[in-house]
Amino acid sequence: MFVLIWAIFLLCVCAETGTSQQCSGQYCITLSETLTAEAGLCVVIPCSFATGFGFTPKHIVWYKCEANSRCVYDDEIIFHSKNNIRVQYGFEGRVSLLEPDIRQKNCSIIINDLKESDSGLYRIRVNGEINWREDGFTSIQKTTVSVEGLSQKPRVKIPTLTEGQQATLTCVAPGLCSGSAPEITWTWRGAGGTESYITGSSTSFRTKTLTAFTQRHISTLTFNSSAEHHNTNVTCKIRFTGEKTTEEGSTLKVNYVKEVNITGGTNVKEGETLNLTCSVESFPPSLIMWSKLGSDITLHNDTGSATLSIINATTGHSGQYVCTAKHINNTLQENINITVIYTRTPQITGNTIIKEGDVLNLTCSVDSFPPALIMWRDLSSKTNSKDTGAYTDLQNDSGSATLVIQNVTAEDSGQYTCTATHPDTTVTSSVSVIVSWFSKIQDVSECVLQAEVLTCVCISEGFPLPTIKWPLLGNHKEYAIKTTVSNHTVNSTVSLKVKNYGNSTVECVSNNEKGEAKKNLMIRSVPDTVADSSVLNVGYLEIIIAFLIGVVLSAVVCCLIKKCSRKKTKNSGNLDETLEMVTSQDDPQHIYDGQETQDNQSNPQEEVEDESVAAEKDVPELSGAPQEVEYADIDFSLLKRNSKSERKQERTKTEYAEIKKAIKDKQEDEMVKGEEEEMMTEMDLKQSELEKEKEEDEPVYSTVNDVIDKI
């Protein structure tokens, strides 16, 4: 007990300066010389005494006095162990012995509810009996007590606070006194800075008695902690007797964690930079980690917040990313999808070379995000046709579009373009469609045999462009071929000289990579009267030259005949016979028919034949073996002379006869000179007209009749 009392004494006394023992005879008292205490609390003045044999202590008396006072007067008594003794005003009930049993020789007192006015000198006296006679002794030295303002703070105990859990705060008043209980209150200062009370809180007060002379005053505050209370201040205020107050504040730390918050755009264009920040409001700060779903690699980590940066984004950066927050024993996650916006060049799939009548099916697809708007366009002249099932303006926003054209024809060939529109970008891709079709020989193809000259025309169409072959050319060395092309049509004309051709048909073979077509062309024979003039296979130029030579020769022959006729006329005087003979001599038909003539006609005929041979020599040398179809000019040297030339020649002969009849009475020399001048002028004019006709373009022949009409 004594040890406990002295422990309390040491706690209650703020400052103590030495102790001294004072003895007078057999009586001794031990006191502290100086004590310092704080107003509102209590002070313990330690004291002990010793007596000689036979002295029995009865009462303890404590005095408070001024510096010049002896401190032995009754009006200076602040404590008397005898209860009915009057004490100084203001000390009633505030002073008590720490040890009520005086026999223990402990004279220590405790003064509660100190005031600044309690400062002063204190002196003790021990009253007792010796040999049944009252006696006593008083301390020689006084104890000085100094009471200062209250500076001690209450002790606030705050446990670990966790959001959502109930928490109890404890406030312990300073000092261990058995005096009046202090008033304890709790205040809370929130984010606004204004003091208030925690909503839903409760307080309790209790006094814990340690000894008969000491007590501990405790107040508790109970509430449900939340993130709202984190980093706010709570204050415990204590008000002692005499309006002495003290307080202690403390900052609340609440363990809490909020939801994961991700900021930043989740879409980024290819090649650009994406920044995403993941933050978690919590206490203590959480560990934030970025990772990609399906990967154990941590992309970035930090405390409180972490920023994920994707530089020069590619399609490989697209995907789901995870932000993980670890807080004490909790783990929170938030997933987010990152999309890289991109587009690629449209890819066109499907057959671009198809057969006529098949279905054109082309699919245009674009790898992009978001899906691009796909549109098909036909750059050819053909427009949409519902009848044929062609839709050339198709669009789709699913990333692909299919163009379907049923029963394609050659007109469907051309360039088709796929256009992909993607946010702010437009990309295109084109493809050429080729519709192939079999080679076909037209019914207008035929052959004509005229005076041992066989002329055949074969017209074929197809795609790719077909070639035409003539199997009969394998047996001939001399022939002429002319080939013309128009769009998908090939016109092949072959001419060759045959004798006693026994076949009734000629085979024409047309083929391309899609197939082969054969046709036997019927041979149509033309009567010889029509074909006599076609024995010479010469071109237009050769025909004109031969015609002009014939005219010149005819003029010469006419002159010779007239001279002979005049001699005969003088002898016989028969003008009619002379005119008849001249006409007969000038008729080239008799020459070509090979009819018998008079002796004087033989020389001109031989000259014509010589000229024909000369014309034939001017014809280009023909190939000596069968050739592939090629673009070449037809050599018409084997074909009939143009009928217009015949008619012009016939008309010339008639004019000659009329001239002769008109000048029959004139002199022979004058008539010949006039005829020659007039005939030469007319020949020059006709030659000019024929040259103009020759300069015109040659047409494309469709049938053999068209060719024959030009002969």
If you average pLDDT over residues 608-618, what whole number do you get? 35
Position 169: which residue type? L
Say whether 442-530 and 155-252 share the same fold: yes
3-class DSSP assignment, residue 73:
coil
Task: State the pLDDT at residue 210.
Answer: 85
Gap between the Cα atoms of 102 and 126, Å rounded: 9
Gap between the Cα atoms of 126 and 29, Å rounded: 9
DSSP 226-293: -GGGTT-EEEEEEEETTTEEEEEEEE--EEEEEEEEEES-SEEETTS-EEEEEEEEEESPPEEEEEET
* DSSP assignment letter at 475: G
Confidence of residue 20 (pLDDT cuts 50, 70, 90): confident
Q: What is the pTM of this model?
A: 0.53
Do residues 263 and 219 make contact, with C-beta atoms less than 8 angstroms apart?
no
Confidence of residue 15 (pLDDT cuts 50, 70, 90): low
The top-level CATH class assigned to 256-342 is mainly beta
Question: Would you kindly state where each structural domain of the chain is located, as residue ranges?
Answer: 2-148, 155-252, 256-342, 344-434, 442-530, 540-618+642-705
Contacting residues for 580 by C-beta, under 8 A, at least 6 apart: none
pLDDT, one tens digit per residue, over 537-557 is: 444 566 678 778 888 888 887
Task: State the pLDDT at residue 197.
Answer: 86
Task: State the pLDDT at residue 624.
Answer: 35
Task: State the pLDDT at residue 707.
Answer: 54
If you average pLDDT over residues 639-648, what whole number do you get? 40
Do residues 39 and 148 make contact, with C-beta atoms less than 8 angstroms apart?
yes
Task: State the pLDDT at residue 293.
Answer: 87
697 exposure class (CB count in 10 Å sphere: 0-12, 13-18, 19+): exposed
Cis peptide before 159 (omega within 30 of 0): no
Fold (topology level) of 442-530: Immunoglobulin-like (2.60.40)
Q: Which two tokens stand for residue 35?
A: 């004590």
Of residues 567 and 28, the one with the higher pLDDT is 28
Gap between the Cα atoms of 38 and 25, Å rounded: 37
* DSSP assignment letter at 699: P
Query: Is the Cα dihedral 637, 640, 641, 644 positive or negative?
Result: negative
* DSSP assignment letter at 696: S
Do residues 49 and 109 make contact, with C-beta atoms less than 8 angstroms apart?
no
* DSSP assignment letter at 636: G
Contacting residues for 573 by C-beta, under 8 A, at least 6 apart: none
206 exposure class (CB count in 10 Å sphere: 0-12, 13-18, 19+): exposed
Q: Which two tokens stand for residue 18?
A: 């030495």
H or E element, residue 10: helix 2-12
* DSSP assignment letter at 297: -
Lowest-pLDDT range, 40-49, 372-381, 461-470, 610-619? 610-619
Task: State the pLDDT at residue 680.
Answer: 47
CA angle 453, 455, 457 (to 5 degrees): 175
Task: State the pLDDT at residue 632.
Answer: 37
Confidence of residue 531 (pLDDT cuts 50, 70, 90): very low
CATH architecture label of 344-434:
Sandwich (2.60)
Lowest-pLDDT range, 11-25, 224-238, 373-387, 469-483? 373-387
Question: Taking 60 as the threshold, does the pLDDT of residue 638 lie above it?
Answer: no
Confidence of residue 528 (pLDDT cuts 50, 70, 90): low
Confidence of residue 527 (pLDDT cuts 50, 70, 90): confident
Distances (CA, A) of 74 to 87, 114, 119: 8, 22, 19
DSSP 490-501: EEEEEEEE-SS-
Task: State the pLDDT at residue 17.
Answer: 58
Question: Taking 60 as the threshold, does the pLDDT of residue 392 lie above it?
Answer: no
Among all chains, which residue has been given the structure tokens 């920023």?
A: 307
Distances (CA, A) of 492 to 66, 474, 620: 155, 16, 19
Sheet holding 183-189, edge to edge: 195-196, 183-189, 233-240, 244-251
Start-to-end C-alpha separation, the chain: 159
Task: State the pLDDT at residue 224.
Answer: 94
pLDDT, one tens digit per residue, over 242-299 is: 888 999 999 999 999 999 999 998 999 999 999 999 999 999 999 999 999 888 777 7
Of residues 202 and 607, the one with the higher pLDDT is 202
Distances (CA, A) of 689 to 563, 645, 653, 696: 32, 11, 18, 12
134 exposure class (CB count in 10 Å sphere: 0-12, 13-18, 19+): exposed
Cβ count near 226 (within 10 Å) = 15
155-252 CATH? 2.60.40.10
Gap between the Cα atoms of 448 and 414, Å rounded: 40
Confidence of residue 703 (pLDDT cuts 50, 70, 90): low
Confidence of residue 113 (pLDDT cuts 50, 70, 90): very high
- R_g over Cα of the chain: 72
If you average pLDDT over residues 305-333, what whole number do you get? 91
pLDDT, one tens digit per residue, over 674-698 is: 544 444 444 444 444 444 444 444 4
Gap between the Cα atoms of 333 and 317, Å rounded: 20
Cis peptide before 370 (omega within 30 of 0): yes
3-state SS record for 567-635: HHHHHHCCHHHHHHHHHHHHCHHHHHHCCCCCHHHHHHHHHHHHHHHHHHHHCCCCCCCCCCCCCCCCC
Among all chains, which residue has been given the structure tokens 């406990």?
A: 4
Question: Taking 70 as the threshold, does the pLDDT of residue 513 lie above it?
Answer: yes
Q: Which two tokens stand for residue 528?
A: 């010889």
Q: What is the mean pLDDT of the chain?
A: 76
Percent of the chain with pLDDT strictly greater than 70: 71
**Angle between helix 643-662 and helix 575-586 axes, rounded to 10 deg:** 160
Task: State the pLDDT at residue 461.
Answer: 86
Lowest-pLDDT range, 97-101, 205-209, 702-706? 702-706
Confidence of residue 13 (pLDDT cuts 50, 70, 90): very low
Among all chains, which residue has been given the structure tokens 């099932």?
A: 389
Task: State the pLDDT at residue 57.
Answer: 92
* DSSP assignment letter at 385: B
If you average pLDDT over residues 559-575, what whole number do you get? 53
Task: State the pLDDT at residue 566.
Answer: 55
Confidence of residue 706 (pLDDT cuts 50, 70, 90): low
* Ramachandran angles phi, psi of 573, nearest 5°: 70, 20
Position 343: which residue type? T
Confidence of residue 39 (pLDDT cuts 50, 70, 90): very high
Task: State the pLDDT at residue 535.
Answer: 41
Gap between the Cα atoms of 624 and 477, Å rounded: 4
Task: State the pLDDT at residue 436.
Answer: 83
DSSP 363-377: EEE--EESPPEEEEE
Superfamily per CATH, domain 2-148 = Immunoglobulins (2.60.40.10)
What are the start-end ranges of the E strands in 174-242? 183-189, 195-196, 202-209, 215-224, 233-240
pLDDT, one tens digit per residue, over 576-597 is: 333 233 333 333 333 233 333 3
Do residues 468 and 458 make contact, with C-beta atoms less than 8 angstroms apart?
yes
Q: Which two tokens stand for residue 700?
A: 């494309």
